[in-house]
Every structure is written in structure tokens, then in C-alpha cells.
Structure 1
Amino acid sequence: MLTLVAILSGAPAAVAAAPAPLIWAFGDSLTAGYGLAPDQGFTARLQAALRDAGVPATVRNGGVAGDTAAQGRARLRWGLRGLGGAPDLVLVELGANDMLRGLPTAQTKANLDMILAELHARRIPVLLIGMRAAPNLGRDYVRAFDAMYPALAKTHGVPLYPFFLDGVAGHPRLIQADGLHPDAGGVDVIVRRLLPTLVRLTKRH
């Protein structure tokens, strides 16, 4: 609507700029940027890549190293309050520590289910980011764990990015000395592969 001053002066009305999307990366050490300098971590590199792609998003780091799905669920509401407003998109990346500890997949699935249900109740869009089980955990465990993320995405009607470490797992030159976490080059691979999905989702919302 034109303001009275603009009408009387003949000046064009200013068009309010759309607010920059707020993305919350809610996860474990993979989103936290474990072992990396702040500007090399996942959230910093993702924010830079989105802005280079024309999406002026702010990506907030909600990763806590060592968190299981249960620990993530326990801090979800507190974390949302700390953002100062509802995010436009939450990246849910949890379950890797459950798998490394061999926790029952039913337990992990139940906690992720409650996280997704809480975000749905708040009308907050979600991208669920999956993990894959290590083969040494046995065929039955691997089958149940790997099936968990597609099932949850279907149940809650949310998009799924199947594997956070896609393009990095199995490539030692992209992994830190601990054999678990991506190095700076690995983070760049993850961000590059994830970027098209996030650009699409931010434009949709």
C-alpha cells in the first residue's frame, strides 16, 4: 500500500524486502563442525554456499557433538526458544551416535519420530538427513537402521536427504584422522551435494 507521504509527493513506494530465511542445523558433531575451524564447519560453509547461490539464508548451528537422538529430543524445545523465532527450515541430522553405540533402532526411530512430530506441531518445515549403518554391525541391524529414515520421512511427509556423508564416506582423504568426521574438503563435498536440495526447499517456503 502506498503511504500518504508517497502519494502526495509522487514518490514511488518502497517495497519491503523479503526476510532472509533462517535455517537451523539440528544434529550432532557432523553439523557442529567437530575438529574444524569455525569457518570450515558445515553451517558456515552451507551459509556461504547458499548466499553464493542467491539465497540470503542464515544458517544457525544446532549441532552438539556426541548427541544421540534421545539427547537431541531432550533439547529440542530449549534450542528452538534460543533461536528467538521460528526457523524457516530445520535440518534434522541425528542417529549416527545411536548407530556407533549399537543402540536399538526402535529406540532411535521413536526419538526421531517425536522430534519430527514436535516440529510438525509447530508448523516448521523439515529436511530429514539420514545416516547409514556401519556394515560390521550385522545385516539385521544395518537393514533396520537404513530403513528407518525413509520410513520416518514417509510417515511425517517430509523430504529426505538419504545420507549426510554422501561422497565422503569411503574416501579417507576427505576424513579427519579419527576416521569418522569430514575434514574441510569433506565438508565442501557434503555442502555441494546438499545445496540443490536446500535451494529448492528455501525457495518453496
Structure 2
Amino acid sequence: MGGAGSGKDTMAEAICSMVPDCHQLAFADAVKSACADMINELLNKYDISHPVQESVLAETPETKKLLRPLWQWVGTDLMRDTIDRNFWIKQLETRMNGIMDLNRKIDFLYFVNRTEPSFVISDCRFANEREWAIKNGFKVVHIFGRKPLSSSNSEHRSETEHIGLKSDLSYNNSGSIDQMVGWIVDNILPLGVDQSGTQ
């Protein structure tokens, strides 16, 4: 867990590059996918062709700045606060179960017995997400040290509620990628990442 721009995705990518059959997931993946569907449906409904349609999931700094208020409203204000506070946790569980089921089918078809897939979750914004992660065997890493991205919506609960949540490990991301990789080798890999991750 950490603020926007702290290096959560960078660390998750680095861990997955070192662990066989590792899948990088995020609670926000389903939020972003739902918002992309909404935008595409709106543009298609009115027969509008616009470059934003192609870049909506591109995760560039420009699209993040444009779409972050929508992600926050759909993810937190609408679905989490109004419909079901565990909605996005359930979506992540469904995706994890789908990956594990697919692996088992492949093992059965090819008469192999591989280890279960590993998962790294790159975001953790709320106490219930942290509780779910710990209950399911994940280790929570707090990443800090980089100046958070500033924006008009940086005070939204989805950007601040992680502050004060307990973590299993902390990493000061004020150095280089090589330093981060060294820290992962020393601190994360010995834990076994079969069901552990960075949040």
C-alpha cells in the first residue's frame, strides 16, 4: 500500500518478474475495466469516435489524470459506499479463482503437476482490503519515500484511507530500481510468494 505514484506497480512487476507463474492483480483492475466499459458504451451509443476510447486503459499520466475522478466515484462513492463495501474484493477473488481453475485444467490436460500460481496485489486502499489480504495469506508492504502525485482529487478517501493501516513490511522507495530489486530479494522472496504480495 502507498500513495499514488509511490511505486506500488513497479514493485509488483519486479516481484512477478522473479517468481514463476506470478500474476499481478489490483482491486482497482475491475474498477478501471468497468469505467472503460461505461465510456465505450457512451461513445458507441452516440456513434462517437474519439481517441480516448483507445487510450482509456492505457494508464498514461494523461489518462490517469483524466480518469482518476471517475475511478474514485465509481469505485468508492458508488459501488463501495452505496452498493457493497466488499464488491471489489469479490471481483478480485473471482479473477484469482479463474486463474487457479485454468491452471488446474491445464495441469490435468497435460498430465503435469505444477505449483499453484502466485499473486501479487499492487494496491490496498481500505481496512477491509487489508483484512482480506491478511486472512488470505498475503503480506502487506507499505511503500513510501517518493513524493505522491498531486492532483485536485488527492484528498479523496481512496487516496488517504490507507494512511495509518498496519503493514508487515515497509520499503523506502527513494532509491533506484536496482535497490528495490535487492530489497525484494532480501525481504520478499524468502517469505515465499505463493500467496503473498505487495499492497
- TM-score range with shorter-chain normalisation? 0.3 to 0.5
Q: Which structure has the greater CA radius of gyration?
A: 1
**Normalization by structure 1: what TM-score?**
0.34
**Normalization by structure 2: what TM-score?**
0.35
Larger RCO, structures 1/2 (Cα 8 Å, 6+ apart)? 2
